[in-house]
Amino acid sequence: MPELANLAAQGTLPGILRQLSGLGSCTHPIRLDGHRTEYDLDTATGEIGRILQHLDSTSLPAGQLLVRCNNRRTTRCPACAEVYRRDTFHLITAGLRGGKGTPEQVGTHPRVFATFTAPGFGPVHNRRTDGRPCRCGLHHDQDDDPLGTPLNPDTYDYEAAVLWNAHAGALWQRFSIYLRREVAKRAGLSQRRLRDYARVSFAKVAEYQKRGAVHFHAVIRIDGPEGGNTPPPAWATAELLTDAIETAATKVRVDGPVIDGRTHTFTFGRQLDVRTIRSADFNDGQELTERAVAAYIAKYATKGAETATGALDRPLKFVAELAQLDISDHARQLIRTAWALGARKDLEHLRLRAWAHMLGFRGHFSTKSRRYSTTLGALRNARAEWRRAQAATNEPAPETTYVLAHWVFAGTGLSDAEAWLAASADLAPGTEGEPTRD
């Protein structure tokens, strides 16, 4: 490899290995051209003093600054998806048992783990728990390809399936309003007065079922009026919360578009599962524990439609690409339907072509209400701080420095030589150090 020989001749090999190891195995880093200068700052006068550090991308071994892509999808970047999974785990855990700035007493508040599904769009191949065969007459294996795909693709309601995904975010949004209303009603309070006594917070993740419909898993918790650090009122029990969730999920509906004379209305499916979360101390192996919930949500946060449905992990540029792709006929038909609906002026706001690869779903993968726990950004900052502290313990505190930086995007990925070096040097993820482990 001539590029490698050149690097060796220039004596820059150890430097480039150091730069690559900073990526923690990210295979599609973002490349930046630019510079960063850190100055001493007199906090009393606000005066900028001497230069403490200067970094110019041209002086770096790779000729550019390389930063992690931070892609959450396992199929796109396994290393960055792993960081995202861990962060999500910590975020969910913090909301269940405290930590990272969330008080420990949230562990004593009523909490449930709920799963919301999409309604049916036509019969699909399935595995029956009663031992009887699927309607097609066969007994399907767990990894059987036809599972979740329509028994009759000609009658499957692809239009409603795609539009449901496109409205799933709005449906959840409205559900969260209905839920607060139902909780208030059970406490004998108006919705407005509820805020003086209790707060309902949640963290949720979207997952694709094999049939290509999005469904939601959520941790829902009741706190006192100031959130996690105030105790909930005595009436706030997991039973009351469960009952309110069931009513709100049954009532909620979102009006959709009228297409060729057909009015679409969106609701959740009848399959609703709500379970109380117990703390680990009370676990006898049967209960749903905090740890299991956090691991479950974190796992699904790194998956898109590609994992369950065999669709795509990136946007489609032309519908003609579909014919060449190695995806299931069911996924192809869902994407084609989204693409066709995307041409309609009255559905412009759904941006169905841009989100065709997500089968119409354009919501966030994992979301949480403000009071649930810490944020992914806060966890990232904490990690950066920790790395900085580890790199140079006598480095000045960030508040006493002034930073001037200018960076421009110069591309993505590694050169062949860099990729070869990164692979052969076995730059394992996490070499930069993680302050916490799950």
Residues near Zn ion (CB under 5 A) are 26, 69, 77, 80, 125, 134, 136
Cβ within 8 Å of residue 186, ≥6 positions away: 235, 240, 243, 244
User: Residue 329 corresponds to which amino acid?
Assistant: D
Beta carbon of residue 82, minimum distance to Zn ion (angstroms, whole number): 10
Residue placing its CB nearer to Zn ion in the complex, 80 or 359: 80
The distance of closest approach from Cβ of residue 92 to Zn ion in the complex, given in angstroms and rounded to an integer, is 22
Which residues have CB under 8 Å from 350's CB, separation 6+?
163, 166, 341, 342, 360, 362
Residue nearer to Zn ion on the CB measure, 73 or 217: 73
Q: How far is the CB of 13 from Zn ion (least distance, A)?
A: 23
Between 68 and 90, name the residue whose CB sits nearer to Zn ion.
68
Residue 125 Cβ, how far from Zn ion at the closest point, in Å?
3
Nearer to Zn ion, 139 or 388 (CB): 139
Minimum distance, C-beta of residue 210 to Zn ion, in the bound complex (Å): 12
Spatial neighbors of 40 by CB under 8 A, at least 6 apart, are 48, 49, 50, 51, 52, 396, 400, 401, 402
Nearer to Zn ion, 136 or 325 (CB): 136
- Nearer to Zn ion among residue 147 and residue 295 (C-beta): 147
Burial of 265 (C-beta count, 10 Å sphere; 0-12/13-18/19+): exposed
Q: C-beta of 16: minimal distance to Zn ion in Å?
A: 18
Nearest approach, Cβ of residue 147 and Zn ion (Å): 8
Tokens representing residue 369 in the block: 């209400």
Shortest CA distance to 69 belongs to which of 32, 34, 26, 33? 26
Nearer to Zn ion, 48 or 384 (CB): 384
| Angle between helix 78-97 and helix 290-301 axes, rounded to 10 deg | 150
In Å, how far from its chain's centre is CA 246? Answer: 25
State the nearest-atom distance from the C-beta of 23 to Zn ion, in Å: 7
End-to-end CA distance of the chain: 40
- Measured from the CB atom, the residue of 125 and 167 that comes closer to Zn ion is 125
